[in-house]
Amino acid sequence: MLLQWCTLSPAGPSKLSAIRFSSPSRVHSIKIFPTDVQPFGQCPDIIARTEPEAFFLDVYFNAHPVGSPVDAKQKLKAPNALMPTVIPYAGGIVEYTVNMGSEFATRLMIVRGDFETVSMAIYGDVVSDTSLKSTTYSPISLPTHSSVPLVPALDAAKSNDPTALARNLLALIPNAPSLSLVIRLMFCLKQPNDDWELPEFPHLYSDLNEEEMDIDLDTAFRCLSRPVVDDISSEQLHHFAKKVSEAVGPRDDAQSYLIASILSRSASQTPEFTQALMQALELESIFDPSTLDEDALFTLLDASTNPDISRLLKASWFLNVLRAVLALPAVTPEMKKACQRLSDRVGSWTVFEQALSGVPDADYTRAALFLKDIGKEEKSFGIWLSCITTHEDLLAKIRDAPTYEGVYPLDLMSGLNPSEEITHSEFMAFVRAYVGVASVLAVYAWSDSLPNLHCRERTLGVLRLWQEIPGYRAIISPLLLLPQMTFRLECMTIGNDPPTTAGINAESLLFALAANPQSFLNSDFVRCVRGWEPWSLTWINERERADIERAAKIADEGVGGAVEELVGFAKEGLDAILDQGRIRALRVAVAVIMHALEDNTESGTRCGDWTVLEAVWGEHTHGLLNYAIDVLTRISVEVKQGFSLTPSPLPTIGLEPLLLLTNESLHLIASLHALSITTSRAVRMLVSGVLDMYSCADVASHESVANSAVQDAALLVKHACANVLCAFSRSSQDQPKCGSSVVLRTLFEQGLHFDNVDPARRLLSAFYLVLQVLADDGDSLPVGWMPTVIPQILTPLVLFFRHLEPVHKVQLVQRLVSLDRGVLGLGDFLVQGEVKRLAGLLKVMAERGVVTQWEVGTGLEFVAGLMEGEDDDWCIAALHLSEWGTIMTGLLEANLYSKHLGTIAGWLAGNPESLGIELRLSVVAALLRGVQVQEPSVCSMNAFGLISTVLETTDEKDRDPERLLWEVGHALGAVVESNDNLSSLDSESVVNTLLLLDSPSQSDLHGLTSEQWVKLCTHLETSLPPSMLPMLPIIKGFHPSPSPPPTISFLPSTLTLPLYDLISLLQPPAPLPSTPPPKRKSPSQDVLGLVAISPPTAVLRSPAVTGLTKTYTRNDFRELRQLPSARQNTSRLPSMHVDDFLQVEMSSSPLVQPIAPSGDMLNHSPSFNMGKENGYI
């Protein structure tokens, strides 16, 4: 709501203005309006007046505490605290957000600054001194994350012409050149300062006809220092290319470099020029391993960004040249990097073109990483941008791309998205966004070089908007780290007084770059932020500037400074303070070390490992891996506070930076593992911290979390947790005690250790990590690890296994069985142990009631899940050797049933020969019980067919006709009662079953009435095949015997908790009553504490201590209260219950805690606060 509209003018020499609110208010935002603007459409008579156009405002809010009842005296004594803030106003309608928090409000706002008048609207809420506590429950919906789409003019990802926005911005400059010329001049063919002063600039072109006589390669190279005019004739291009070809001589280093340079300068020109050179030059006769030095390789790397040159260099002869260079004895690490990048780039162009065309097997991830690679150097970036905007075949693919339905483009340059999960429309939206951002950057560079303030300000505003959009941010951030971009932004942050909109936007862009630790690996960015003077910035406050400078200093010092920061934080232990600045410093330290370690892959050497080791030794320490684990432990403690079961203070740090730091620390630990000697203690600490972080990240990655950035960071953490555990569990055999056994044992034990966290979530997280460690195929695990590891962890494995849900038990056992391959028989052991436990539960089920029944039901669900797997032979064999028959018999005798029992019986009936006679009869009885209760799983199978099959494998003497006929009769009665036409009944199986159970001594079918029996016989007469009709007289020899059906109860599948029990669980523990310790007296007040006493008998006879030896009765305390001297000498306070306590029999403990009434229980329990501001919801 609008709290105040005012036009302020400073008064007095201090230039102060003040606004007083009629009641305590919480300000949310301040909007300043320029002169002659009507702020309110319904009040046209209100006109704003703000002079001058730009100035700084110092704003002070009177801090008024709210939310807690305090008496009037305390309010009067409260200090008149002022909360300061600074507003840089650079013109226009600008709204500034004010975060006052929920603890304070304000009644006074003081404004100071170099302004004449300022018109502002203040928005916020009026608050009350005492907050009313709600007595009724009102449900609150969880916040939902909804992305606001960009307007079409700013959304290059959905535009058929992604360069349209750049062309419109360029049109703000009078007599502006074409976008293609701007791209060449800004990134590819930078002109000397003298050319900028010429009146013809920027239309200064190379004259390819300048040299009519023969030219050498150096002249041709210098001739191409300027752009070639777009409308040049084809004859001129081929004539120049022919001259270059005629200038080629014998192979040498200088000639190879000049040819590479000519190709590089022509790569950004018109497509016809490059093609003419490719046709005229015989590169195979120019380049060979002996003439390609480091400069020539990197120049060819830039040239290969052109698709035509890339196709020519993809030839097998050139790739063989690169392999030969790598094999040279004198090859340098930089040459290795150049060769590897050049080989990858010429191959990636083909992949990129396939991705543009949308071929079925296109590798979209590699194509996106190709764009990430070309954005590392200005010239490569400019050549690609020039080609993509001038080659008609590439433009047509972008123009005709399918429509993208998403809100923002995806971040494909992270490499985390599997290529098979990326669609063609998603990739094309990403490419369009990349082209749009790159084109706008070219316009910004041109407007800043002129300079044109209007165009530069508008362009920076677009870049700042894109910096706040997830998909665009991933594209613009690395491109802003190009040297000239960083330099331009740095210049705009210097001398920004009075503030300008462009300067504020530049600071915002640099501040966003500083949030990514990879930015500090760029030397130009480090130089930029280290050049900021204290209190010289407008948008970045001084604390943030100091934090950024500290991080930049760590990066500037290299690996040594990074190791010092990491080790110093780890040595502080759990007392280390984590704030935004420290997190930034740690992330930069980790990034610097990781960059050094990754140099191994890029250079093909191990110099990165040696650099890190030397830095660690330079700090006079060792064991960097242990320090990194300590850092992870401290971070996990911080993160767990936001996910604890008990209320915790609202975190001061957002969840996203903590999760990102965790992800980067885990990658560092995995990289250091190969360089370090690990102890089992360190591995246990690591696994415990990983489990903590995985549990928290699993919650944060849920769809109900409103912050998408937190979700993305949580997914990264989950992936990193699994990777680091896999790395440690697959350690070499020379450290067997620090590998799989320690990792798995710790997961099993810590998964059952619930320290103020959700037990179910922690157990499930441990289970998922166990599955990650136990790979599907087991090829990545050390050879023969099962017989070595499993016996060491068998006890915690069994305990962990018993706490899992049935479906998770099935997954774990199946994974272990596939890895065991029958060597240890681990699956048989676990199944037989579970059956033994169920047999024990059956014996006490009558005493323990429904909870035990539920446990038995979950055990049946586990066995049923195992038998539904692809390979169930081993499970059936394990059940045959166990007490499974006893369990089935016990459940049937107790008239208990479960759908899983019928499923198990059906699977066992498929192979009855492998079962014992007792188990076969139990299977038959279980199937019949399933028919009686019309269990869907049993009704869906041919129950009587399975029953007859099982009975046929038994001898007549082993059957129990009386018992089974009783079950058959009730089963048939249930079938006849529930079906009208009996069409689903297998008549042949029913007849076979009755024939197998036919006995002269037993002919009664209990459970069938006469009407039901007649209906059944009639159906049999019409449905039996002719060959079985002679059996009907035998069947009709049975006699129906009506009897009530058995009372069969289903095992419970869920447990219910009464509300009273739930309230009791939520009740905070009451402290035990105890006598408080006496207050310690000073030596001057304690008679017995004197240092020197002479004689001691005088002290003992003193009247001051006579009360110490007195035996009190009921009324003595009342008398003592009237004697001041006696009150001084008593060692405890008077009590009226002492004598009663001594005389009464100790029938009840005096320490019994009083139980509060259930109606007040909820009022005593602490509230559960979850703060969405920092990403915890």
| Mean pLDDT per 10-residue segment, the chain (1177 residues) | 92 87 90 93 91 91 70 48 82 88 85 92 82 66 76 94 96 95 94 91 85 76 91 90 90 93 94 92 92 94 95 94 92 91 94 94 94 95 95 92 92 87 95 97 96 95 94 95 96 87 94 96 95 90 94 95 94 89 96 87 63 85 91 93 80 88 95 86 94 94 76 93 91 61 94 88 95 75 77 93 94 91 89 92 86 92 87 83 88 89 89 86 90 84 87 84 86 83 82 83 81 87 85 84 86 84 74 72 47 44 46 49 46 44 36 34 32 38
Contacts of 693 (CB under 8 A, 6+ apart): 632, 635, 636, 639, 662, 666, 717, 721
| Measured CA distances, 103 to 60, 125, 815, 1041, 1145 (Å) | 17, 14, 53, 80, 54
- CB atoms inside a 10 Å sphere around CB 66: 17
- List all residues 6 or more positions away from 853 whose beta carbon is below 8 Å from its beta carbon: 845, 896, 1051, 1052
Residues 6+ apart with CB under 8 A from 828: 874, 877, 878, 881
Residue 708 backbone phi and psi in degrees, to 5: -70, -30
715 CB neighbour count, 10 Å cutoff: 17
User: Is the distance from CB of 866 to CB of 814 less than 8 angstroms?
Assistant: yes
Tell me how far apart the alpha carbons of residues 499 and 495 are, in angstroms, rounded to a whole number: 9
| Encoded amino acid at 11, one letter | A
Asked whether the CA dihedral 197, 202, 204, 206 is positive or negative, the reply is positive
Distance CA 259, CA 262 (A): 5
Strands 118-126 and 1039-1041: unpaired
Give the 3-state secondary structure of residue 944: helix
> Smallest Cα–Cα separation from 631: which of 701, 730, 563?
563
What CA–CA distance (Å, rounded) separates 415 from 363?
Answer: 11
Residue 381 CA to residue 384 CA, distance in Å, equals: 5
Tokens standing for 44?
A: 């046209």
Task: Supply 823's token pair.
Answer: 């060597």
pLDDT of residue 1093: 41
Three-state SS at 743:
helix
Instruction: Kindly tell me the burial class for residue 69, based on how many C-beta atoms sit within 10 Å of its own C-beta (0-12, 13-18, 19 or more).
Output: exposed
Q: What is the pLDDT of residue 523?
A: 95
CA distance 565 to 589: 7
Kindly state the tokens that stand for 124: 């916020």
Sort 505 into a burial class: Cβ within 10 Å, 0-12 / 13-18 / 19+. Answer: buried
For residues 663 and 853, give the distance between their C-alpha atoms in angstroms, rounded to a whole number.
Answer: 44
DSSP, collapsed to helix, strand or coil, labels residue 1078 as: coil
| Tokens 């320090």, residue located | 627
Could you give the count of Cα atoms lying within 13 Å of 20 in the half-sphere of its Cβ?
A: 1
pTM of the model: 0.82
* Residue 1008 near residue 967, CB atoms below 8 Å: no
Cis geometry, peptide bond prior to residue 333 (ω within 30 degrees of 0): no
Residues, the chain, total? 1177
CA 337, CA 603: separation in Å to the nearest integer? 5
Per-residue pLDDT at 390: 93
* Helical pair 501-514 and 453-467, crossing angle rounded to 10 deg: 30
H helix intervals, 286-403: 294-303, 307-313, 316-326, 333-357, 364-374, 378-390, 392-399
Q: Which residues contact 559 (CB under 8 A, 6 or more apart)?
A: 592, 593, 596, 611, 612, 614, 615
Nearest-5° angle of CA 594, CA 595, CA 600?
Answer: 95
CB-based burial of residue 137 (10 Å sphere; 0-12 exposed, 13-18 middle, 19+ buried)? exposed
Contact 386, 180 (CB under 8 A): yes
Work out whether strand 1039-1041 and strand 104-113 pair parallel, antiparallel, or are unpaired: unpaired
Place of tokens 């905007």: 389
d(CA 917, CA 906): 16
Beta-ladder partners of 85: 59
Element (H, E) at 472: helix 470-480
| 927 neighbors 912 (Cβ within 8 angstroms) | no
Structure tokens at 385: 């941008």
**Structure tokens that stand for 1128 in this block:** 């001084």
Is 649:629 a contact under the CB 8 Å cutoff? no
Q: How far apart are the first and last CA of the chain?
A: 27
What is each CA distance from 1080 to 305, 504, 1085, 1128, in whole angstroms? 83, 62, 10, 14
Please tell me the distance from the alpha carbon of residue 264 to that of residue 378, in angstroms, as a whole number. 12
